[in-house]
Amino acid sequence: MATPNAAPRSAPKPTACLALADGSLFYGMGFGATGQTVAELCFNTAMTGYQEVMTDPSYAGQIVTFTFPHIGNVGTNPDDDESGDPVAEGMVVKWMPTEPSSWRTAQTLSDWLASRGRIAIGGIDTRRLTRAIRQQGAPHAALAHNPDGVFDVEALVAAARSFVGLEGLDLAKDVTCAQSYRWNEMRWAWPEGFTPQKDAKHKVVAVDYGAKRNILRCLASAGCDVTVLPASASFDDIMAHKPDGLFLSNGPGDPAATGEYAVPMIQEVLAKTEMPVFGICLGHQMLALALGAKTIKMSHGHHGANHPVKDMDTGKVEITSMNHGFAVDAQSLPGGVIETHRSLFDGSNCGIRMEGRPVWSVQHHPEASPGPQDSYYLFERFAEAMAQRMQTAT
């Protein structure tokens, strides 16, 4: 209890500043790395999985605002990384991270971000910021962390305004693997944890536009022997592995830009083979472009783990995880391409398939399991399609 006539306790001096291109400024407390970064600002509604979000390659070029306030409370650990390092440019949260309270903790969130060069800001009114993003679209933003609390706000706003944006950017080339590799680790299971796939039945080539590790684990758990190839892989590169199926991964950036080299490869696969093809997120958009559809930039995108998606074939509603700022234009789907899934938030396209062929894709992330496993059947469907094709071939 304060003593009588005691001076009021002063608020700590802000050590971080978030500047939007429209001139809006948000001051807070910095953690993680120091310095400055510029990116598109989005928001994510997931209540868990902040480490998975920050290491998801699909977040390249973006600063993520988390709408759930308890971020950092379970620390970080190597098992939860979706890629080798954080890919999202920065983090915005309401409350500063508390001391982690999980037996799995290997590092605090702040130390983890600092060791990997990523900036974060806490103490922000994330509700106000999220409303602004929803009403105005995903803004360009500059985020600075300076322990001295000194900021050149005019320079920060200018930096935000000078950001080129994600339209027209091929970011898949920045996050893809440098060379091919094999993957056989399956999904985590109690009590063994991650175990290797020892009884693979199908050879799958996965084209890496920014693939999440848990997608590859789901493929392995579905009985696939997975070979991962860079985003620039050609038809000949793929066929050299004699695959039973082709997987097109998630990834960041403008699908039209990545499609300049990805689409011709996919079209050649579809024209010269009958193998099953399955795509997720950017892979979904690549397949749609290859089939003649178009993609469009969304206002603020879909980012979170509570997105209801309707399966148009069965009428079933799945609770899904999403992370995309571009979408397939359902009005542009050509004949022979059927819409299979649709968002119940805004009616945007979330899945397609080719009529009469085992070729399909979805916008949402069936490996993220927010439902908790509403969409995992898609991996099993892919394995079944490969098994049926093998039976037909014999």
Q: What is the pLDDT of residue 167?
A: 96
Q: Report the candidate in 323, 318, 315, 331 with the shortest Cα–Cα distance to residue 283.
A: 323
- Domain ranges for the chain: 16-162, 172-393
pLDDT beyond 90 at 372: no
Which pLDDT tens digit goes with each residue over 223-263? 999 999 999 999 999 999 999 999 999 999 999 999 999 99
192: left (phi over 0), alpha (psi -120 to 50) or beta: alpha
H helices, E strands: number in the chain: 10, 17
Q: What is the pLDDT of residue 371?
A: 64
* Class in CATH terms, 172-393: alpha beta
- Regarding pTM above 0.85, the answer is yes
Q: What is the pLDDT of residue 10?
A: 62
Q: Tokens 């509604």 correspond to what residue?
A: 45
Name which of 2-6, 258-262, 356-360 the model is least confident about: 2-6
Q: What is the pLDDT of residue 3?
A: 40
> From the CB of residue 324, how many other CB atoms can be counted at a distance below 10 Å?
25
Q: What is the pLDDT of residue 390?
A: 87
CB burial readout 75-105, b (16+ within 10 A) else e: bbbeebbbbeebbbbbbbbbbbbeebeeeeb
CATH 3.40.50.620 fits 16-162, yes or no: no
Which pLDDT tens digit goes with each residue over 200-209? 999 999 999 9
> Under DSSP, is residue 132 helix (H, G, I), strand (E, B) or coil?
helix
- What is the end-to-end Cα distance of the chain in Å, rounded? 82
pLDDT beyond 80 at 365: yes
Q: How confident is the model at residue 2 (pLDDT cuts 50, 70, 90)?
A: very low
Q: Which two tokens stand for residue 78?
A: 């190597």
Q: What is the pLDDT of residue 392?
A: 85
Find the angle CA(257)-CA(326)-CA(315) to the nearest 5 degrees: 130
16-162 and 172-393 in the same fold: no
* Sign, CA torsion 19/23/24/26: positive
Q: Active-site residues: which are they?
A: 281, 365, 367
CA–CA distance, 215 with 269 (Å, rounded to integer): 22
If you average pLDDT over every residue of the chain, what do you get?
A: 95
Which pLDDT tens digit goes with each residue over 24-79? 999 999 999 999 999 999 999 999 999 999 999 999 999 999 999 999 999 999 99
Q: Are 298 and 325 in contact (CB under 8 A)?
A: yes
Of 112 and 373, the one with more pLDDT: 112
Q: How confident is the model at residue 9 (pLDDT cuts 50, 70, 90)?
A: low
- Mean pLDDT value of segment 15-30: 98
Q: What is the pLDDT of residue 6?
A: 46
Which pLDDT tens digit goes with each residue over 181-221? 999 999 998 899 999 999 999 999 999 999 999 999 999 99
pLDDT beyond 50 at 8: no
